[in-house]
Chain A
Amino acid sequence: MIKRFIHIFFQPHAVFITALIWLFIILLNSIRLNLHFLDPFNNGLKDYELTDIASSRFRDPEDIMLREDIVLINSGKPDRVRLQQMIERLQSFEPAVIGIDILFEGDKNPDSDTLLAKAFAQKKNIVLATRLTDYNQEKDVFEVDNNLNPLFLENAAALGYVNFISKDLRTVRLVSPQEKTDQGIAEAFAVQITNQYSPQAVQDLKKRNKAVERINYRTPQDRFITYDYTQVIDSTFDLSYIKNKIILLGFLGVDDWSIPVKDRFFTPLNADYTGKTLPDMYGLVIHANIITMILDRTYIYDVPAWMGRLIEILFCYFNVIFIHWIYRKFPEPFHGITRGVQILEFILVFLLISVLFHYFDIRLDFATGIFALVLIYDFVMIYESLIVNRFKWLQRLT
């Protein structure tokens, strides 16, 4: 039994072919040739992950729950007087915490500035946005934006940076919970807000001890209760719904039908996952999604790199055994069978990755495994027609 098992699953030829494939992949990776024909994906697809399809297309809208503990407030483009009125009115309805995703740069009117700072100081439940600017490589720290007015920052309960880990026009997938700055450790805006609401949730986040977290986008904007600034400053409008809730105040456009580019980002929920189209989510909604992830502990679990690589190598090895067997047993229809098997495996792998991500929040990066699968056919051919014939010791291997 054991002998038969070893005979089937330990095949020296398959080991050689697998080793050749991986050598080729490593070589390709290390040279990093800037050749288009070796680049399996063009520019439009570079910023795309297989799991994006699961995020954007597989979810049944009816399964997406309404999020009632977070309320979004569209600030429009407010002046400081209006903001002060809004804060005072909001505070009278006793929200748990107010996160303000607005950067207060410089001085405006001394009177209105003082009144706004006073409104911030009224209750210690306001988290203000800051911004990290230049990265100092020598000291390994970020600099905090100096243009922000300290009058406001000093009166807030906490400060959190609103930067996302993403280059321009790239999908926002990651959040850095904390960073070292020239003023000490700084925490992300969403982390600081959650800390005011549920310190235990943030403790749990910190226990994970991860430099960056992959954002689990579960809630689109139309599943958050949203108020407009006009309603907030209208003294006749009932805001009692916001009591004990997390309030996120920031820009959500000025017209509900418009899709402004301002403060909007690409996310994996974008239905056009294969290229650059229109940014799909406001920064404020991204923060809301990070908060829901921390509160619900619905983190995405990345399969460790070593485990992923091991799975890919084993996947490649067993495929080599199978395809090599087809080559020897069925030389005539070898091409057709192999391509058919490859297509079937692509579908199965895609299904498996999607199921893991969709149902279990597990993300498996299997891009190299798929690339290896593509190469197997050619490497079996190369091995059989060029390599085996030249080395007698290889021919003696069984």
Chain B
Amino acid sequence: MKWYFLFFSVLLSTVIFAQADVVVISSKGKVWYQKSNTDAKKTLIPGQKIKALGALSLDDNSQVTLLSSGKTYQLYESGTHQLNKVIPAESQKKMGFGSRFWSFLTDGLINSDNKHTLDEYHKQHMSVAGGVKGFAGPDLALSPLLPTYGKLGPGVIEFQWTPIEQKEIIYQFDIVKTSGKKLIYRALYKPSLVKVDLRPLVLSDEENYQWIVKALDRKTMTVIDSIMPAAPVEFQYILNTDMAIAESLEYVEGYEEGDEYTRSWMEAVAMEQEGFPYLAYRRFLKLRIMHPEDLLIKKLFAAFLVRHNQLDAAQEMLEQ
């Protein structure tokens, strides 16, 4: 019995000791390993086993995947990395558009898995995006409902905001030039949405613009002070949207070979990444109608909505 105990103890300690090893799973470019400052740098080779001591040096555009204690660690950033720091925490990733595209996509898909992850994803995004895109805080009564900010393409844009439950109300919708606040377009509307064709407004793609909604008393036509207006929502007018998105997608693997469905959702993701959230919204909406049962579209769209402060709509969609 004692012999068995000794045998298993030795075996166990061997296993534990072996787990401290780091195995190089794969590498690209130039990656060196230096055991200590006095040792010479040696090229790291896939399959090589090293201790979690010393440092790794990566050249530009190099990368390495390490396996230690059943976990993989990937290094992308050029420079010197101390192994004892790398192993517990995965390093920051340096990514091009193609890489960012897939990373962004995977992130969204993982986070739209269930209500809880969606909530966390929303919090995480709002803490980054708060105030930047014109998302209204809870103290503002008027806030945009559609992602009509960032880059807007030519054509008819539907601007929507939260409706106010008062009978004697009318909305004043303005588009102004950001610099100098020159008024470009003004309209008064009863419903809480307006469709504007941007083409006749002769907007320049070198200027920034804002749209602002205020609630007016219908009789006096004065601004109702008790209703806070939406923060001005900044946008740019881009004439050639197709080209901008097509250029980005050139770097995304699988796009060229993809079927219409694949290309369509990839375009939607690229539109958002390239700063065209409204175009992306329209595309996701279309895909959702065409493929109501498609889980991928559902999750992508939900993640999109969360990123654009539409948590309730995203949750409702996932529950369908």
Chain A residues at the B interface, C-beta cutoff of 8 Å: 42-44, 60-64, 66, 68, 71, 222-228, 230-231, 236-238, 241, 253-262, 272, 274-278
Contact A60 B46 (CB under 8 A): no
CB distance from A311 to the nearest CB of B (A): 32
Instruction: Tell whether B81 is near chain A: CB-to-CB under 8 Å.
Output: no
Q: Which among A61, A64, A228, A257 is the interface contact of B93 at CB below 8 angstroms?
A: A257
A231:B67 contact, CB within 8 angstroms: no
Inter-chain contact A256/B74, CB cutoff 8 Å? yes
User: For A222, what are the chain B residues with a Cβ–Cβ distance below 8 Å?
Assistant: 25, 65, 67, 72
Number of A-B contacts (CB under 8 A): 111
What does the 1/0 interface line of B83-115 toward A look like (CB < 8 Å)?
000000000010110110111011001000100
Task: Give, as a whole number of angstroms, the nearest-CB distance from B98 to chain A.
Answer: 5
Contact yes or no, B102 A66, CB < 8 A? no
Closest 10 CB pairs of A and B: A62-B70, A275-B295, A260-B253, A261-B254, A257-B99, A241-B47, A226-B26, A260-B254, A225-B47, A222-B72
Q: How far apart are A23's CB and chain B's nearest CB, in angstroms?
A: 32
Q: Which chain A residues border B24 with CB–CB below 8 Å?
A: 225
Residue on B with the closest CB to A44? Answer: B295
Decide: B27 and A231 in contact? CB cutoff 8 A.
yes
The answer to whether A261 touches B262, judged by C-beta atoms less than 8 angstroms apart, is: yes
How many angstroms from the CA of A222 to the CA of B295 in the assembled complex?
Answer: 27
Q: How far is the CA of A20 from the CA of B69 in the complex (A)?
A: 54
Return B102 CB to nearest CB of chain A, in Å.
Answer: 5
Considering only CB atoms, which chain B residue lies closest to A71 in the complex? B47
Chain A residues, CB < 8 A from B98: 255, 257-258
When the two chains form the complex, which single residue of A66, A255, A262, A277 contacts B99, counting CB atoms closer than 8 Å? A255
- Where the two chains meet, the residues of B that have a C-beta atom closer than 8 Å to any C-beta of A are 23-29, 43, 45-48, 63, 65, 67, 69-72, 74, 76, 93, 95-96, 98-99, 101-103, 105-106, 109, 113, 252-254, 257-258, 262, 293-296, 299
A selection of 7 A-B contacts at a CB cut-off of 8 Å is: A66-B23, A226-B65, A241-B46, A255-B96, A262-B253, A276-B296, A278-B109
**Residues of chain B contacted by A68 (CB below 8 angstroms):** 47
B284 → A minimal CB distance (Å): 16
CB-CB < 8 A to A236: which residues of B?
43
* Bound: A278/B105 CA distance, A: 10
Q: Considering only CB atoms, which chain A residue lies closest to B94 in the complex?
A: A257
A256 touches B28 (CB 8 A): yes
Whether the pair B70, A277 counts as a contact (CB closer than 8 A) is: no
In whole angstroms, how far apart are the Cα atoms of A333 and B167 in the complex?
53
Query: In angstroms, how far is the closest chain A Cβ from the Cβ of B20?
Result: 13
Across the interface, do A66 and B67 meet the contact criterion of CB distance under 8 Å? Answer: yes
> Given A60, A225, A254, A276, which contacts B294 in the complex, CB threshold below 8 Å?
A276
- Minimum CB–CB distance from B290 to chain A (whole Å) comes to 14
Q: How far is the CB of A88 from chain B (nearest CB, A)?
A: 19
Taking the nearest CB of chain A, how far is it from the CB of B227, in angstroms?
43
Q: Which residues of B lie under 8 Å from residue A224 when comparing CB positions?
A: 25
CB distance from B45 to the nearest CB of A (A): 5
From B23, B48, B299, A277 is in contact (CB under 8 Å) with B299
- Residues in B whose Cβ lies below 8 Å from that of A258: 98-99, 101-102, 252-253
Contact of B109 among A241, A262, A274, A277 (CB under 8 A): A277
Contacts of A256 in B (CB 8 A): 26, 28, 63, 65, 74
Q: A66-B67, A227-B26, A275-B296 known; A238 and B43 CB under 8 Å?
A: yes
Residues of chain B lying within 8 A (CB to CB) of residue A277 = 109, 295-296, 299
- If over half of A's interface residues share one DSSP class (helix, strand or loop), that class is named, otherwise mixed; here it is loop
- Counting chain B CB atoms within 10 Å of each CB, the highest count among A225, A231, A253 belongs to A225
Q: Which residue of A lies closest to B42 (CB)?
A: A238
> Which residue on A lies nearest to B98, using beta carbons?
A258
- Min C-beta distance of B97 to chain A, whole Å: 10
Give the residues in chain A near B105, CB-CB below 8 Å: 259, 278
Of B46, B74, B252, most A-chain CB atoms within 10 Å: B46
Q: Given contact pairs A257-B99, A257-B103, enumerate 10 new A-B contacts (beta carbons under 8 Å).
A: A66-B23, A223-B67, A225-B26, A238-B43, A256-B28, A257-B93, A258-B102, A260-B253, A261-B253, A275-B294
Please indicate the chain B residues that have their CB under 8 angstroms from the CB of A64 in the complex: 70
Residues of B within 8 A of A60 (CB): 70
Using Cβ atoms and an 8 Å threshold, which residues of chain B touch A62? 69-71
Inter-chain contacts of B293 with A (CB < 8 A): 42-44
A241 & B258 in contact (Cβ 8 Å cutoff): no
Contact A228 B28 (CB under 8 A): yes
Separation of A42 and B106 alpha carbons in the complex (Å): 24
A248 to B26, CA, bound (A): 14
State whether A225 touches B25 (Cβ < 8 A): yes
When distances are taken between beta carbons in the complex, the residues of chain A under 8 Å from B254 are 259-262
The residues of A that contact B262 with a CB separation of less than 8 Å are 261
- Contact of A259 with B295 in the complex, beta carbons under 8 Å: no
Given contacts A44-B293, A256-B65, contact A228 B99 (CB under 8 A): no
Q: Answer whether A61 and B70 are a contact pair too, CB < 8 Å, given A68-B47, A71-B47, A258-B253.
A: yes
CA distance A223 to B72 in the complex (A): 9
Q: Is A259's CB under 8 angstroms from B47's CB?
A: no
Residues in chain B near residue A278, CB distance under 8 A: 105-106, 109, 296
Which of the listed residues A227, A257, A275 has the most CB atoms from chain B within 10 Å of its own CB? A257
A166 to chain B, nearest CB (A): 17
